[in-house]
């Protein structure tokens, strides 16, 4: 049972180093680092009501035994939504830490503000799934995760998609290093992102960040790879986009960002053409070991992008499962 106190963590370099170390013990397949966590916190909206609490390792107070985070989601839903993460060091499980921190997350809410609480785990963690289900959380969305080995990727195999786009008068280009200074182009990308986001399965209630917040998070982020940020233009209108992101924690992994095509231009291979060009550029990169990196992505099972990624050669990995618990109803 829990004997140590639950503490609010300060935003200090020691906190971020300890948090990164804990996450790498909990999620070794998805490495992170303190620098990424610092930036992630800096990009949070002031109104997100973000909180982070933890239990220290009793044998070494510089280490975290468990941590929980909670914040408010921006949605169009009439019912407030909050999301949380809960991570317990494998060496400290079955000691009541997760239960205690979850209690803090669920109970320490402003009075009179019932809300939907959500979190995620992966389908290869049955203990985590059972933990949530015993506490009235129910799975609401399965998001397939997949990975592409760029060393085996052949851009020519799907080159016809680019030829179709060009024949239709669509210009495919990379954002490039100078693109982040082109405000009209960025506003076009932001407008497309906001419009397409509503069509993403599982994100119907999501709200795109305001332009300045979005620009800081995307185009002032050192992890964004501008040469792998594809843009599709019909005249001056931005009608498609895709992104790849580097990982500060590992040069062996890249991550996809947001890929979307305007409704008026779908079913013509634009998403495939954009992704092929982006991946072809990434294939020229080399890790410290001398081979191309792998690319990781995730898509809801009902998202057509999953089929595109599988045709590109992505191989499925354990999926993410989103759980939610609705607020108790009073008669």
* Per-residue pLDDT at 109 exceeds 70: no
The whole-number average pLDDT for the span 297-316 is 92
Specify the residue for token string 């990624």. 309
Calculate the average pLDDT of the chain: 91
Q: Give, in order, the Cα–Cα distances in Å from 41 to each of 5, 10, 48, 142, 317.
A: 24, 12, 11, 26, 28
Q: Is 292 in a helix, a strand, or coil?
A: coil
pLDDT single digits (tens) 33-44: 999 999 999 887
**Torsion over CA: 171, 153, 121, 33 (sign):** negative
Q: Which residues contact 255 (CB under 8 A, 6 or more apart)?
A: 244, 245, 247, 295, 296, 297
* Per-residue pLDDT at 1 exceeds 60: no
* Per-residue pLDDT at 330 exceeds 50: no
pLDDT reported for residue 181: 87
pLDDT single digits (tens) 114-147: 678 999 999 999 999 999 999 999 999 999 999 9
* Per-residue pLDDT at 31 exceeds 70: yes
Count the Cβ atoms, other than its own, within 10 Å of residue 232.
26
pLDDT reported for residue 42: 87
- Give the whole-angstrom CA distance, residue 195 versus residue 331: 38
> Given pLDDT bands bounded at 50, 70 and 90, which one contains residue 2?
low
| Category of 251 on φ-ψ map: left (φ > 0), alpha (ψ -120 to 50) or beta | alpha
* Per-residue pLDDT at 14 exceeds 50: yes
- Give the whole-angstrom CA distance, residue 236 versus residue 218: 21
> Given pLDDT bands bounded at 50, 70 and 90, which one contains residue 47?
low
pLDDT single digits (tens) 203-252: 667 788 899 989 988 888 889 999 999 999 999 999 999 999 999 999 99
Q: Which two tokens stand for residue 284?
A: 């020229």
| Nearest alpha carbon to residue 195 among 278, 112, 260 | 260
pTM for the whole structure: 0.89
* Per-residue pLDDT at 198 exceeds 90: no
Strand 116-122 with 81-88, pairing: parallel
What the chain holds in terms of domains, given with CATH numbers, is 7-113 (3.40.630.30), 146-320 (3.40.630.30)
pLDDT reported for residue 331: 44
State what percent of residues in the chain have pLDDT above 90.
Answer: 73
- Give the whole-angstrom CA distance, residue 296 versus residue 254: 6
pLDDT single digits (tens) 149-181: 999 999 999 889 999 999 999 999 999 988 888
Q: Which residues contact 71 (CB under 8 A, 6 or more apart)?
A: 44, 48, 49, 50, 51, 82, 83, 84
- Give the whole-angstrom CA distance, residue 67 versus residue 96: 13
Q: What are phi and psi of 7, to 5 degrees?
A: -115, 145
């Amino acid at each position: 049972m829990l004997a140590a106190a639950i503490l609010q963590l300060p935003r200090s370099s020691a906190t971020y180093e300890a948090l990164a170390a804990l996450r790498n013990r909990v999620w070794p397949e998805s490495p992170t680092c303190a620098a990424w966590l610092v930036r992630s916190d800096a990009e949070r909206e002031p109104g997100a009501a973000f909180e982070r609490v933890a239990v220290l390792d009793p044998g070494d107070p510089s280490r975290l035994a468990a941590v929980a985070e909670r914040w408010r989601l921006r949605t169009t839903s009439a019912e407030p939504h909050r999301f949380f993460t809960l991570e317990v060091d494998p060496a400290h499980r079955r000691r009541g830490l997760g239960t205690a921190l979850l209690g803090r997350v669920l109970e320490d809410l402003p009075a009179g503000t019932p809300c939907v609480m959500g979190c995620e785990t992966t389908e290869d963690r049955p203990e985590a799934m059972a933990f949530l289900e015993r506490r009235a959380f129910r799975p609401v969305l399965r998001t397939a995760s997949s990975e592409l080995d760029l060393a085996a990727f052949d851009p020519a195999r799907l080159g016809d998609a680019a030829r179709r786009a060009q024949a239709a008068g669509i210009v495919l280009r990379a954002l490039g290093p100078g693109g982040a200074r082109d405000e009209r182009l960025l506003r076009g990308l932001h407008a497309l992102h906001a419009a397409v986001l509503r069509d993403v399965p599982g994100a119907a209630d999501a709200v795109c960040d305001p332009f300045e917040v979005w620009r800081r998070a995307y185009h002032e982020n050192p992890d964004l790879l501008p040469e792998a940020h594809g843009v599709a233009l019909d005249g001056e209108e931005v009608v498609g986009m895709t992104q790849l992101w580097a990982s500060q924690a590992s040069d062996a992994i890249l991550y996809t960002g947001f890929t979307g095509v305007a409704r008026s231009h779908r079913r013509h291979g634009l998403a495939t053409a954009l992704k092929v060009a982006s991946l072809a550029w990434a294939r020229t990169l080399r890790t410290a070991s001398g081979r191309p990196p792998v690319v990781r992505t995730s898509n809801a099972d009902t998202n057509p992008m999953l089929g595109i990624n599988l045709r590109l050669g992505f191989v499925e990995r354990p999926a993410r499962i989103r759980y939610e618990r609705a607020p108790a109803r009073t008669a």
